[in-house]
Amino acid sequence: MAQATFHFPRGFLWGTATAAYQVEGNNINSNWWAWEQKPGRILNGDKSGLACDWWGGRWREDLDRAAETGQNAHRFSVEWGRIQPAPDRWDEEALDRYREILRGLGERGLTPMVTLHHFSDPLWLTEKGGWENEAVVGYFETFVRKVVEALKEYVTLWVTLNEPNVYAANGYINGKFPPGEHDLGAAFRVMVNQVRGHAAAYHAIHKLQPHARVGMAVMYRGFSPARSWLPLDSLAASMLSRQFNDFFPRAITDGVARLPFSSQRIPEAKSTQDYLGLNYYTSEKVALSLDSRQAFTKRFFPEGSQLSHTDFIANIPTGMFQAIKWGLRFKVPIIITENGVEDPDDRLRPRYLAEHLHQVWRAVNFNYPVKGYFHWTLVDNFEWERGWSQRFGLWELDPETQARRKRPSADLYAEICRENGISSEMVARYAPEIFDKMFPN
Ligand code: FCB
């Protein structure tokens, strides 16, 4: 039997990622809370409720779990509507709570990465038109300045916006997220404001903390032509990739927002990315179609792929390598800010984890500058419009009783973090079905 260990560079960040709205509970000043109250918006009428009760203090036990299982970093987000419940009001106690969480991270040896905006908006912002209104740029900058002043003692690694591409697509094109619109023009306005908001935040953070490292976390989805011999499919796949994957990192590299029919110069956004945050989950095939509601494309998972519990994710680890390779063009270090799979029974996760990390390792061995990996996620949490139907946690959560139970993948991830690598012996124990593929004789 082949024996080997795939090692990662010294100082590699190993963590999990979470988001405020999904774990804190009772985020009543958020647009998502209002959205949950509307019938038909969340699958099965699920409610976030107490979520993982982090605001009630259970962040302590969960971060204990993270630290005890060898992780050395954690990515979490702060909730805007909690910190600034009204445009002219700051909740200092909420900021104190985040400072306490950050001290908690420090005590546990976890390097913090803080996301300033992870999908949810304060209700008052929504009432003013949300990210469609260009005034959001100033509001966001003010908020960011306040947060960074309060937390900069503990944090140097910042994510301005999480997945602005998903935010715009789900909120303004397919309508799955609030405000539930189907309006391309609105989506493009939002995207431009997100680039501006990011740029304003970037400069504000650097002014307060010159040594900060600031970036955004972009969702990269692999798109390849369904029929590689058909030029129209190739065109559809590359158009999608340009709009969905490239738009944000390109705009904050060269200061140009490239929309399908026009380009806009945003000079202040130029070179406002100290690292690229990469969220990679899955890849799709793309075919041209006559359906205008789907932007004239049909997307589907490659035939025969292994699918997650609710068919949300296909296990396509090579897409991770492609994502990293794609990311090189922005010429900054790369951090995998999210990757994971929904899998209540932990059947696919061990293999998904090992195979995706194998691809990250391959990239690192080409000397591609990947600096860390944050698994989504630590404990099952409230998955947006999919409610509690999807279980991404290394730990299982019963939202009723708040009981946690460790899944086998948590042990696998612990061994990987401690070893700073993946060994053939780990794969033989946790995912024997892929042993020959990963360690061919
Ligand atoms: C990403 C989100 C994250 C979580 C995972 C499953 O798109 O950033 O909040 O929902 O998907």
Measured in whole angstroms, the distance separating CA 214 from the mean position of its chain's CA atoms is 15
- What is the pLDDT, as a whole number, of residue 383? 99
Structure tokens, 66: 């993270």
Measured in whole angstroms, the distance separating CA 386 from the mean position of its chain's CA atoms is 16
- What is the pLDDT, as a whole number, of residue 229? 95
Ligand 1: atom nearest CA of 162 is 8
From ligand 1's centre to the CA of 166, what distance in Å? Answer: 9
Burial of 304 (0-12, 13-18, 19+ CB in 10 A): exposed
From ligand 1's centre to the CA of 2, what distance in Å? Answer: 36
Q: Are the beta carbons of 143 and 134 closer than 8 angstroms?
A: no
Report the distance separating Cα 218 and Cα 167, nearest Å. Answer: 10
Q: Are the beta carbons of 266 and 252 closer than 8 angstroms?
A: no
Predicted confidence band of residue 58 (pLDDT cuts 50, 70, 90): very high
Ligand 1 and 163: CB distance under 6 A: yes
> How does pLDDT run across 312-355, given as a tens digit for each residue?
999 999 999 999 999 999 999 999 999 999 999 999 999 999 99
Calculate helix-pair angle for 318-327, 349-365, nearest 10 degrees. 40
- What is the pLDDT, as a whole number, of residue 318? 98
Cα distances (angstroms) measured from residue 46 to each of 39, 79, 389, 399, 400:
10, 20, 9, 11, 12
The phi-psi region of residue 377 (left if phi > 0; otherwise alpha if psi is between -120 and 50; otherwise beta) is: beta
From ligand 1's centre to the CA of 20, what distance in Å? Answer: 12
Q: Are the beta carbons of 356 and 316 closer than 8 angstroms?
A: no
Ligand 1 and 219: CB distance under 6 A: yes
Q: Per-residue pLDDT for 1 more than 80?
A: no
Q: Per-residue pLDDT for 66 more than 80?
A: yes
**Would you give the DSSP letter of residue 85?**
S
- What is the pLDDT, as a whole number, of residue 24? 99
Ligand 1: atom nearest CA of 383 is 10
Cα distances (angstroms) measured from residue 183 to each of 42, 55, 188, 293:
21, 35, 9, 10
Structure tokens, 165: 């591409």
Average pLDDT, the chain: 97
- What is the pLDDT, as a whole number, of residue 2? 81
pTM summary value: 0.98
- What is the pLDDT, as a whole number, of residue 412? 99
pLDDT more than 70, % of the chain? 100
User: Best substitution site from 376, 378, 380, 390 to test ligand 1's pocket, by max atoms within 8 Å of Cβ?
Assistant: 376
Structure tokens, 383: 């998955």
Ligand 1 and 392: CB distance under 6 A: yes
- What is the pLDDT, as a whole number, of residue 296? 80
Report the distance separating Cα 146 and Cα 90, nearest Å. Answer: 9
Ligand 1 and 338: CB distance under 6 A: yes
Sign of CA dihedral 37, 38, 41, 46: positive
Ligand 1 and 384: CB distance under 6 A: yes
Nearest to 65 by CA among 378, 337, 419, 375: 378
User: Best substitution site from 338, 388, 392 to test ligand 1's pocket, by max atoms within 8 Å of Cβ?
Assistant: 338
> How does pLDDT run across 389-437, given as a tens digit for each residue?
999 999 999 999 999 999 999 999 999 999 999 999 999 999 999 999 9
Identify each DSSP E strand in 48-198 by its residue range: 73-77, 111-117, 157-162
Q: Per-residue pLDDT for 291 more than 90?
A: no
Q: Per-residue pLDDT for 73 more than 80?
A: yes
CB neighbour list of residue 373: distance below 8 Å, 6 or more residues apart:
12, 13, 14, 15, 335, 336, 339, 357, 360
How many other CB atoms sit within 10 Å of the CB of residue 289? 15
Q: Taking residues 134-152, what's their average pLDDT?
A: 99
Q: Per-residue pLDDT for 41 more than 80?
A: yes
